[in-house]
Amino acid sequence: MKPYKKSASNSFTKILKFSLWFLWCSFMLLYILIPQVQQQVLHFLYPSEQQFTHSRVSLASMTLSHLWLTLTATMMSSVLGIALGTLVTRKVGKDFLSLVMGMNSMVQTFPPTAVVILAVPLLGFGWKPTLLALFLYSLFPVISSTVVGFQSVDPAVKDAAKGMGMTHWESLKLVEIPQALPFILTGLRHAFILNIGTASIGALIGAGGLGTIIISGLTLRNSALVFSGTIVVVFLAILGDKILSYKGYRRK
């Protein structure tokens, strides 16, 4: 009976967690899409405030702009980061490992705001400087995780693949990448979450996104507007983390 009770308890816990997660996602979707929901929620939380939505841009439009910046930068850093991480762990690129990691670490010493400001004279105002800053900042976790992933592959496993007659490409595709995949996904998850939070600074130079309503709230000293943008940023970060942390992607 004990194993049965334990199994039933685990099933109930999973159903409860899924139900709560589904309800929260549904509520946030309604909150983002329907201004009336935003007004009701924010009026309940901040009854002393007079303004609950942005005067010119809808929350849904800001969310889409924020997601576009984040996903584009994350995809760019993922493609280049995985390629560089793979290259410097091969024989042909091992000499460049310390150089690539050193340059990557150097980029991290600059705050994203400084990267955006330095890029404005070259790229102008708007989304381009923000995209560059997000790309450079999210490149480091992808490269690092890719390198760690390939370095964690047991040499005996690679020797066994070689002994079976696999070519270098076959060994990489069939042996090393599946072994390194959990580490690579961890890097992608960190890059996405980092970009979700950092993308808000783009509103300072006209890139749009959820930083628009947050900065408007700070300027107007309106806590409701700041909370409205912040809670959506937090929701997107948690949603991305859940998706990229899905156990089905991980090595068992």
Report pLDDT for 250. 47
User: Of 9-13, 121-125, 149-153, 169-173, which range is least confident?
Assistant: 9-13
Say yes or no to pLDDT of 249 above 60. Answer: no
| pLDDT tens column, 85-125 | 898 888 877 788 888 778 777 777 777 777 777 778 888 88
Report pLDDT for 252. 43
Query: Which DSSP string do the residues of 90-152 spell out, in sequence order?
Result: STTTGGGHHHHHHHHHHHHTS-HHHHHHHHHHHH-SSHHHHHHHHHHHHHHHHHHHHHHHHHT
| pLDDT > 90: percent of the chain | 38
Mean residue pLDDT across the chain = 85
Q: Are 134 and 70 in contact (CB under 8 A)?
A: yes
Q: Are 184 and 175 in contact (CB under 8 A)?
A: no
Distance from C-alpha of 150 to C-alpha of 181, rounded to nearest angstrom = 9
Q: How confident is the model at residue 128 (pLDDT cuts 50, 70, 90)?
A: confident
Exposure on the CB side of residue 95, measured as CA atoms within 13 A:
1
Distance from C-alpha of 42 to C-alpha of 24, rounded to nearest angstrom = 16
Distance from C-alpha of 36 to C-alpha of 171, rounded to nearest angstrom = 56
Report pLDDT for 248. 46
Report pLDDT for 251. 46
Report pLDDT for 42. 95
Q: Where are the domains of the chain?
A: 54-249
Among residues 81, 139, 150, the alpha carbon closest in space to that of 115 is found at: 139
Q: Are 77 and 139 in contact (CB under 8 A)?
A: yes
Burial 9-42 (b: 16+ CB within 10 A, else e): eeeeeeeeeeeeeeeeeeebeebbeeeebbeebb
| pLDDT tens column, 205-244 | 888 899 999 999 999 999 999 999 999 999 999 998 888 8
Distance from C-alpha of 50 to C-alpha of 237, rounded to nearest angstrom = 29
Q: Could you tell me the CATH superfamily of domain 54-249?
A: MetI-like (1.10.3720.10)
Report pLDDT for 44. 94
